[in-house]
Structure formats: structure tokens, C-alpha cells
Structure 1
Amino acid sequence: MAAESNATMPNDDYDPYDPDLYETSETAARILLGLRYAVSISSGVAVLENLLVIFVIIGTRKLRVKHYGFVVNLALGDLLFAALAIVFPWYEHHAIFALFMSCYVVSVLTILAVAINRLLAVSLMPPSRYDSLVTGGRLFVACVIIWAVSLILNLISVMANDDLVTFWIYGLIRPMTVFVIWLITAILYFVVYRKIARFTPSSADAKTEPDSGQITVRVSQTRKVLITFIIILLVSFVCWMPYSIVRFISFFDPSQFFSTKFDVAYWFAGLLYCLSAMINPVIYWGKLDGFRESFNALFCCCCSKQSERNYADDNDKTEFEQTVADAV
């Protein structure tokens, strides 16, 4: 039943998940059902893809380098997000929603963490300064903090058990926070890009400075990681912002909750959310160094000997680079 109230906040008895509040046509009901199925199916695909990503990186020595720890953390966040998204269209419970929004915030903060990490990698020179400051243990602690902060922020509404608190957190605070974090991340990536663009290795320095070769490799490595995560950042913006816009609209005009068009827009934006978790593994496949070769080595036992020789040749060519990468 369409609401006629233009109030700026929900009533005490308001529950956006109550199906009796909506009056939908048969066509709209079919569209909504199709969107719910699409969310579950795309999320199922995303679960499988991110499981493979985690398995390939953890199962391949060549990929077990420090900065790929953030890739694992992002894949884990996408994995759990997608797993909960399979269930949510059919069981819209506030606790489930809070948990799977926590995974979403993990993804946002991990992309920001990569930007900070790469900024340190090109700012702290010689590379030994970065290696002494940014250790594998500290990166692991950073990932744990990201998960803790995300869970705390999203479980506040569940622990408060207050409709008004939930309304403000989901309608304004979280969408605004995500946009601010996205903007900060974009600025950091731009700063890192400028630093890389200005980097000009000197042949004289290469002869006199023992760390010059490592600096060149570090910058080259950062450039590759930067390209990968800039693509992820753009994909996340396209996939995440529609949902935040829908939430903004519902915050400033809560009566939209009772509109069939709003319901369709809500689930379509939710589908875009899930597509982000499904697209990221494809980006890893195309952009992460050694990922495809490692995948083939783990899963494609029937690869031709020629492919194996090519892979071995590639390893020989990048032996020095990988030695440095192991310390990054």
C-alpha cells in the first residue's frame, strides 16, 4: 500500500521488510523475483570464483608475497559477502544484512589499504626502509583491524535494536562514509601514479647505488598493482554507488520505501553489488602477475609441455624481480 506520508523519518512501527506494505502488479512481482534469483545466482558464481582466487594465491609459492595478502583479504570479503547474498533475498533478516554489509565495508577498506601500502612502497626509499616498516605480520594485523572495524560499525544497529539508529546508519552515515573513503582512495591512487610517472632511473645511480635495481623493480611492481586496483576501484564505484544513491533517496524521502519502483531499484542496485564480487576475480585473472600461470599449474594438469616450458622461461626472466617481490 503506497504511503502518503512525507515524513523525514520512519514511524515506530515501520518495517521496510514487511511485504504487506507493498502493492505490486504481476509484472513488477515477476521483475522482483527475477532480480532476487539473479542476485543469488551471481553471488553463487562469485563464491566459486573467489574460492579459486584464494586457493591459487595461497597454494602457489610465487604468489605468496606481502602485497598479495590484501588481494586475499579482498577476495575473502567478496567471498563471504557473496555467500550471505545468496541467502538474503529469501531471508531478509537484519543480522544477516549487517554481516554481509560488514563484508562490503571490508572490501572498501581493503582497497584503501592497498593505496596506502603502495604509497609507502614508492615513498620509503631505499626499499629496505619499507621492508623494515611494512612486514608480513603488520599487514596481517591491518587485515584483522579492517575486519574488526567493519563488524563493529555494522553490528551497532543490531545491538542498538533501534529503528531510528538503523535508519540513520544505513540511510545516511554508511553511504556517505563509503563515498568519502572512495574519494580518499582515488586521491591516494592519483598521488601514487604521479610519483611513478615522475620516476626516472639514472644509469649512473644504477652503478653506484646498491639499491637502485630494487627501487626500479619496486616502482615497476607498484605500477602493475596500481593498474589492477584502479580498475577494481572504478568497478566498485560503478557497482556500489547506485545502492548508496537509493539509500540516500530513502533517507530523505522514507515514503519511497512503499513504492514498487523503489523496490525494483533497490534489488537492481543489490544485483550490481554482487556483480562487483563476481568481476574482481576476472580482473585478478587478467592483471595479476603469474595468476593465470599458477592457475594452470594447479588445475590444468593436461597443459602441453610447450606451455610448461614457456612458464619456466617466464620464471627465469623474472627471477630477480620475484626475489625482490618476496620482500615486498
Structure 2
Amino acid sequence: MDALHNNTDCNGTDVSVNCSAGFNQFIQPGWQIALWAAAYCSIVAVSVVGNVVVIWIILAHKRMRTVTNYFLVNLAFAEAAMSVFNTVINFAYAVHNEWYFGPVYCRFHNFFPIAAIFASIYSMTAVALDRYMAIIHPLQQRLSSTETRVMIAGIWVLALLLAFPQYLYSATESLPGRTVCFIDWPDYSPVDFRKIYYVSVALLIYLLPLCIMGWAYTAVGVSLWAGEIPGDSSERYKEQLIAKRKVVKMMVVVVSTFAGCWLPYHTYFLLHQFLPELFEQRYMQQVYLAVMWLAMSSTMYNPIIYYCLNSRFRAGFQQVFCCCAPPTAAKEELELKSPRYLQTQVSTFRASRMETAVSSAVDAAELPPQPGLTSNGSDSFPRSAHVSSQ
């Protein structure tokens, strides 16, 4: 999505206006470049490591392979990919407004971020709708793993279609002293295709999904915090309610963080489309770098949020980064190792049932003959009684 900046050069002026004199007015002093480089590289390091660990935690543990977590895998993949392929490249271009990476990567650089952001935010939207169906309509059938994968594939198809115009119209141009990468939009008078496209993108990858998620989480929040199931005060119900609330809290924090990080970015580029004269000042380069850093930083916060608000993700991170996990995390780590944990639980359950059945049979054998029992003391309905006990 950072490639929206590249439809013009010099931070808001047309390529042909202020950039033809062979003098690059946007060269920064070394200390500024070093500070911005450290800031942008920290995003890449935290985002890539954190999101790769999130993907491993979910895919390597069967208990973590839920519908919600499959969408979180897609979210983590999109964010890690955007960090790897666009964050540093965009910084290198924005520092001096000079493109060093050739025409092929120019197309990819303009194309991929929109697709990645679309996939990210609609993965979050899918999680919100899944939580809504699970909590508001618990009796309806949930998505299967196959249906979830199909939905994820559909999200990426729509993402690539939305981003395709930026691929189609990307171009590089050699100016005196430097090369620029920009989007050469067609001139369809009296229709301004560029403005229509950017407004549509802002609506589709920001405003619309946020409205959907806001509605879904509002309904879920009212159900979980304001509503109670009459007569159901069991410990099991309370545990499930607490678990559901934790998941919803975590996802609300994820969505709120994403919205806060990308709001200045979308505001910046919408203003640029309708008030371009505001962006002809040299200081707008620093504004752009700050706005872009905040937007790109959204890719590194989710793993931190998962670690802080979800015990299973926390146990997974401790397994990766701690040779000896703290004692307080031992139970969480045991729960994370799903196959052995599940086998133990099933074996315990079966043993308990067998012990109950044997105890019932012994008690019945010790009773005196009763009407309905045979002369040898055995039940005249042994088959049906045994079935009902299990």
C-alpha cells in the first residue's frame, strides 16, 4: 500500500513539475537517514520474527488449528511478506526519492502492498464474523477447515484483483540525475480515474471492513458482557465465557491497533488527491516518512498482542525463545503440546468410565435378588443397562 506514494514524486508534486532540473532537493543529512533506517529496520526484524513464530505455533500444534487461527495464519503471512518485500524498499526510495530497483520490482512494489493489506484486514474481518457466528448463533454449523482454506484463497484472489490496476499502470522514468517509480494513470476525461480508484481502495480496505468488524464485535460484546444464560451458573460455563471474552478482547485490540496505525496514512493520501498544493513543501518528506513508519509498524504489533493476551501463544513464544521456560508457564506448555495432552485426557476419561462400569457391576452383584433379576443375580436386561451406563 506504500506504493500509493509513487504515483507522484517529490512527496506530492507531479513528476514533471519540480523534478526536471537535475537537482534532487530531497537528499537528507546522514544522521536523519541513520535514525529513519534504524526505525524501519526494527519494524522488519520484529514483524518477520514475530509473525513467523505465530505461524509455527498454529501450524505445528493441532490444538491451535481452529478456524480463527487459520485466519490469523493468513494475517501473519501477509504482514510478514509486506515487511520483507516493501518496508525497507519503500524507505530506501523515500529517503532520496530515487528508485534503484528496476522496472520489474517497481510493478511489484506498487502492486503487492495493496493485496497484502486487503488480505490482512479481511482476515481480521473473517475472524470477527466467525466469533459472531460462534457466540450469537452457536447452533449453526461452523466453517470446516476446507471451507476456511477456500475462503482464504478467495480473499487473496479479490486482493490481487483490487491491486491489479497499480501493477498495470506502474512505470519508471529517468529524470536528470535520477530515476523514479510511479503510476502513470490514464487520462479519462472528464472522469478522474486516479481519484476514483484511491477513494475506492480507502473504502474497501479500511472503512468498510472496520464498520463490519465494529458491528460484529459490538453484538458479541453485548452478548458476552451484558447477557447471561438463565439458570446456567456451572463452572464449565463460566470458564467458557471467560475464554470467549479473552479471545474477543484480543481481537478488538488487534483491530483497534490496525485502525489507529493506518488512519493517518489514508488521511494523508486522500488529502493528497484533493488538496495537492498542501504537499509541495519540502518538510512533507518527513511527514510522509513518519506516516509510513506508523502504517508499516502495524505489521509488528500483533505477535506482541498475542503474547500478552493469549496464554497458548505465550507458551509457544516461550518454547521458541526460552531454553528453560519459567515454572509458571509449564502448564501452558503442556496444553500447547496437543497430541500427548489429548491422549492423556482421553485415556483418563476412558479409565474413569471403565472404573464406573466395574464399580456398578460389583455393586449390582452384591445386591440380593430383586424382581427383574435372574436367579443367579445377573440383570435380566444386561445389554441395555450396560449401554446406558456408557
Would you call these one fold, judging by a TM-score over 0.5?
A: yes
- For residues 155-194 of structure 1, what are the structure 2 equivalents within 5 Å? 155-161=164-170, 163-164=184-185, 167-168=194-195, 171-177=198-204, 178-194=206-222
Question: How far did 1:163 drift?
Answer: 2.7
Question: How far did 1:76 drift?
Answer: 0.8
| Unaligned stretches of 5+ residues in structure 1 | 1-8, 207-211, 324-328
1:90 to 71, 92, 99: 92
Matched, 1:264 2:251: no
2:272 to 238, 250, 256: 250
Maintained 8 Å contact 1:171/1:250 = no
Distance 1:312 1:22, change over 3 A: same
Which structure carries more relative contact order (alpha carbon 8 Å, separation 6+)?
Answer: 1
Question: How far did 1:235 drift?
Answer: 0.7
Distance 1:31 1:260, change over 3 A: farther
Maintained 8 Å contact 2:311/2:332 = no
Residues in 1 aligned to 2:168 and 2:222: alpha-carbon distance in whole angstroms: 44
- For residues 110-259 of structure 1, what are the structure 2 equivalents within 5 Å? 110-126=123-139, 129-131=140-142, 134-161=143-170, 163-164=184-185, 167-168=194-195, 171-177=198-204, 178-203=206-231, 219-259=241-281
Distance 1:313 1:26, change over 3 A: closer
Question: How far did 1:32 drift?
Answer: 5.9
Maintained 8 Å contact 2:47/2:299 = yes
- For residues 39-58 of structure 1, what are the structure 2 equivalents within 5 Å? 39-58=40-59
Letter in 1 for 2:324: C
Distance 1:242 1:275, change over 3 A: same
Distance 1:266 1:313, change over 3 A: closer
The farther-off stretch of 233-242 and 161-170 is 161-170
The farther-off stretch of 224-233 and 169-178 is 169-178
TM-score normalised by structure 1 residue count: 0.77
Letter in 2 for 1:239: C
Maintained 8 Å contact 1:50/1:75 = yes
Maintained 8 Å contact 1:69/1:139 = yes
Distance 1:204 1:148, change over 3 A: closer
Residues in 2 aligned to 1:236 and 1:18: alpha-carbon distance in whole angstroms: 38
Letter in 2 for 1:51: V
Match of 2:189 in 1: none
Match of 1:3 in 2: none
Match of 1:99 in 2: 112
Greater fraction helix: 1
| Unaligned stretches of 5+ residues in structure 2 | 1-11, 94-98, 100-105, 171-182, 187-192, 347-390
TM-score normalised by structure 2 residue count: 0.66
Residues in 1 aligned to 2:38 and 2:327: alpha-carbon distance in whole angstroms: 43
Letter in 2 for 1:148: V
Q: How many equivalent pairs are there?
A: 300
Question: How far did 1:303 drift?
Answer: 3.2
Question: How far did 1:123 drift?
Answer: 2.5
Distance 1:135 1:35, change over 3 A: same
The farther-off stretch of 227-236 and 42-51 is 42-51
Question: How far did 1:305 drift?
Answer: 6.5
Letter in 1 for 2:141: Y
Q: Encode CA deviations 1:23-69: one digit per residue, 9 max, x unaligned.
A: 34756x85466335522331232111111111122122332222211
Maintained 8 Å contact 2:315/2:329 = no
Question: How far did 1:78 drift?
Answer: 0.9
Residues in 2 aligned to 1:292 and 1:64: alpha-carbon distance in whole angstroms: 16
Maintained 8 Å contact 1:63/1:291 = no
Distance 1:298 1:156, change over 3 A: same
Q: Encode CA deviations 1:135-171: one digit per residue, 9 max, x unaligned.
A: 1111111111111111210122222456336833664
Residues in 2 aligned to 1:59 and 1:278: alpha-carbon distance in whole angstroms: 21
